[in-house]
Amino acid sequence: MATLARALMVQGTASGVGKSAVVTGLCRLFRREGIRVAPFKAVNMSLNAGVTASGGEMARAQIVQAEAAGALPDVRMNPILLKPVAGEGMQVIALGSAVGLLTADEFQARGAWAWEIIADAYRALAATHELLLLEGMGGPAEVNLRETDLANMRVAALAGSPVLLVADMAFGGAFAALLGTFSLLRPEEQGRVAGFVLNRYAGKRSSLEPAIADLVRRTTRPVLGVLPWQDALSLPEEDTASLREPLGRLGAPLRIGLVWLPHLSNFDEFGPLSREPDVALTYLRLPEQIPRSDAVILPGSRATAADLAYLRGCGLAEAIREFAEEGGHVVGICGGYQMLGRRLLDPDGVEGEGEIEGLGLLPAETVFAGEKIARSVRVSAGPLLGPGGPDGIAGYEIHHGRVRVEPGTPAALLTASREAEGARSADGRIWGSAVHGLFQDDRFRRAWLNALRAGRGLPPLAPRAEDREIMFDAWADCLKAHGDWPRIRHLALGR
């Protein structure tokens, strides 16, 4: 019988406190020691998803953690992914495949089914690794959810894992959150808590010592890290609650507007834009913000029809149309691409039966189908950016909508088999694509920005490399320098 891996779990006082970042840093630290390590998050509720090489869908956060660990992303690292949709439902992804739409109550009723998937995935990973770094979901002390827990202390018990409890220092209340969470845990759950981590602290640690001493006295648990605020940390965020402005450099010459959507998905792909030296990236929530942009991006959406109705209701749809008519640049990615067309048809009720009018900026229509497309792709940007446009851009598709483009419409991209993908206006100001990840390609991002610069009479800039390996190592170094690494390492490895 194979020896199962050891485990260390990172839980948090709430969503968005930094659990994913801490796990990512630990993945890199243990990888650097030659440990066969992998991440594991039993249940993730997120609209930031990606596709594995085998075509399975999983949360982007666990894909990034796998990369930090030097492991191939595997859907068993995130066996259950929940993607909220319009209304009270959510799409359930189990081991990389969509299994249907369920309400929260319906999903809870299938808890035994979900737990079997989770436990089997955990054991399979644990049999082929030396260490699994587990991440919780939300906070472990929601008393109303204790009996249906699939992601926090129940997983820690399955793995026999100690737990690090993380709190966010950025907005105050971290010590109360840690003490309150700890106090609400059952005695056996408190016994698993091995220490606390304070994340995103912008001051001197010495000023925290009285509060740390009080927390240690009340809980008898040590504080094993005080992690500083990291402006340049470019790890993907889990949910939209974590998005804070400003995203780009205020006063930069290029003003890029990212349209805010209630069901905004895969927003992490635009993070590299916010780190460009000549970009001020802003979320657009009001119609009057649109005309102040050089380009407007409609991002992906998990509920395209509902989000399009939202844009109409708040006046953003009309403002985007006027912006395009007056010469502005408008881009649509996946759901945003579908919105740019003339109409969206949903004969099978995938998002809601009927027909909805699109923005009419591209000669295309979308038909929703029950079967979900999830695949990795490589594309060329030659049709959009000219003969020098980058080739071999790695991206991925995740969508139910099939876009039908009117014959004769110029393509935005070409696939590896030289087939047309996406659509654009004749002058290239308005374009859309089903492919996620374009703006994460250094060459594409800079070529597109340089086209905007040329329109403003600005000289081109050279591409700026987003080296994820450097980022992983820098964050791991930070975690090691500001955490009690020997004690954390001992908790994980027992040595």
Q: Tell me which residues are annotated as active site.
A: 334, 436
Report d(CA 258, CA 179) in Å as an integer: 38
- Contacts of residue 240, defined as CB under 8 A and 6 or more positions apart, other chains included, come to 47, 264, 267
Report d(CA 246, CA 258) in Å as an integer: 12
Report d(CA 490, CA 222) in Å as an integer: 14
Report d(CA 23, CA 133) in Å as an integer: 6
Buried b (16+ CB within 10 A) or exposed e, 394-405: ebbbbbbbebeb
Pairing of strands 89-94, 97-103: antiparallel
- The answer to whether residues 361 and 321 touch, using CB atoms and an 8 Å cutoff, is yes
> What number of H helices and E strands is found in the chain?
16, 26
Cβ neighbourhood burial of 257 (10 Å; 0-12, 13-18, 19+): buried
Amino acid at 480: K
Pairing of strands 254-259, 163-168: unpaired
Q: Where are the beta strands (DSSP E) in 334-484?
A: 343-346, 354-357, 364-380, 393-405, 413-415, 420-421, 423-424, 430-433
- The answer to whether residues 329 and 256 touch, using CB atoms and an 8 Å cutoff, is no
Report d(CA 160, CA 387) in Å as an integer: 57
Q: Examine residue 246 and say whether the peptide bond preceding it is cis (omega within 30 degrees of 0).
A: yes
Which among 187, 198, 200 has a CA at the least distance from the CA of 235?
200
Report d(CA 342, CA 358) in Å as an integer: 5
Report which DSSP code applies to 406: P
Q: How far is CA 298 from CA 245, 262, 434, in A?
A: 18, 12, 12
